[in-house]
Amino acid sequence: MKSLDDTIAAISTPLGQGGIGIVRMSGPEALPIARRLFRPSRGRADAPWPAFRLRHGFIVDPATGARVDEVLAAYMPAPRTYTRQDIVEINGHGGIVALRRILELALREGARLAEPGEFTLRAFVNGRMDLAQAEAVLDIVNAQTDAALRLAVGQLEGRLSGEVRAVRERLVAALVYLEATIDFVEDEIPPQDIGPALREAADAIRGLLRGADQGIVYRQGIRTAIVGRPNVGKSSLLNALLRTDRAIVTPIPGTTRDTLEETLNLQGVPFVLVDTAGIAGATADPVEQLGIERSRRAVRQADLVLVVVDGSEPLRPEDRAIAELTEGRAAIVVINKCDLPTVADVTEFLPSAPRVRISALTGEGLDNLRAAMLELALGGEAMASNGILVGSVRHKEALARALDHVEKAEATYRQGLPADFVTIDLRAALDALGEITGQTVTPDLLDNIFANFCIGK
């Protein structure tokens, strides 16, 4: 990241045609740059700029005096802003040419283009939010379901951070006591049993970890590959689950030549459905070969595989070859065309996988399939309305490391070993917890986190 004292500018709305578009500036020169570009429709240009109020006017090229766009502009002085720096937001028309022209003028007048996530990074560095809350901003932007949004908003409100801070306070108190006994041996320090504090900290971390897998599912979704040989009804199943004609369906085998992705919301869990080309035997068609390879890759990348077979026909060698591809993956055997007489014997076909009989044509059995998908995703548990769920793999890994160190510290303490040995694991646990909220963050970690943000956020 470049200097956080620079004045930065970026387009903060998606590029393309729309009703409005926003160019945002943050930094000490935000207001002077805006004054050089903005001409109010009423009043003098050099008059004091009222804070936190929209002003109507025009963006003008200072070099030529030409009007660029009619806008509403707002000045927000520090520290009551998103970045705790001076911010100016220019609301123009949502055309890509006009917005880029406004941004170019801001850059020409002394601002620099913001790095990805730099506005939120400044909010973190300047103490407006901790690191977990900053990550929640991106989760809100990326939320695909109401449940994912609630999870992200709860994290932005500081619910996870509050739990982590409470655990850290217990561990810090224990560490302070142990270090005092080490540093002031000759002083009479009242004896204190830190065992209960260590146990409470460990229990609290276990509680957060208990719902982590579920939280990650709500946040990231379940990548679900729909696979099978040609003409078993994969695209029909996709359309039936989505309740729309998203994929082309014909009686001709091999209609689907490429993968197709759509998101299905099942009780707040986003399932990213990947419709794949039918996996058949050897083919000389290079397009079919490419489609089949992409289907195989979709299986390798999937969290869940729906293996579709035609229940009205005997199983074929291609069906069994596809089953072998799913080895080690969570899978559901979807026996399609149950509206026709059943011929396929699936007794020994993927015996460990649940099986659901459906008709993609009539809709029969689809509710059972949805229930089976949710069962595999959540283990039969729905998200509690007031629960705190860890929704980040990074947070889960940090909590797991913290728990490991707390358990080691507790064991060392129970064995009566010197306090120095206990403090080693306590410090490591505090460092791991600090990675979640940002107390022990490294520049590389910040770069990795904020690189996932869009420019302008």
| Residue 109 identity | E
CATH annotation of 133-211+389-437: 1.20.120.430
3-state SS class at 213 = helix
- Residue whose entry in the numeric block shows the structure tokens 């077979």: 309
**Sign, Cα dihedral of 426, 428, 433, 438:** positive
> How confident is the model at residue 85, as a pLDDT?
97
Q: In the numeric block, which tokens belong to residue 263?
A: 């998101």
* Torsion on CA atoms 412, 416, 420, 422, rounded to nearest 10: 30
Query: Which of 242, 247, 240 lies closest to 278 in space, CA to CA?
Result: 247
Q: How far apart are the first and last CA of the chain?
A: 15
Spans of the chain below 50 pLDDT = 247-250, 252-258, 284, 385
> How confident is the model at residue 249, as a pLDDT?
46
10 Å Cβ neighbour count for 386? 7
Residues 6+ apart with CB under 8 A from 348: none
> How confident is the model at residue 255, as a pLDDT?
46
Q: Which CATH architecture has domain 220-378?
A: 3-Layer(aba) Sandwich (3.40)
pLDDT digits (tens, 9 = 90+) for 219-272: 888 999 999 888 898 889 999 998 876 544 445 444 444 468 889 999 889 999
Q: Which CATH class is domain 8-128?
A: alpha beta
DSSP 24: E
> How confident is the model at residue 291, as a pLDDT?
58
Sketch the domain layout of the chain as residue ranges. Answer: 8-128, 133-211+389-437, 220-378
> How confident is the model at residue 186, as a pLDDT?
60
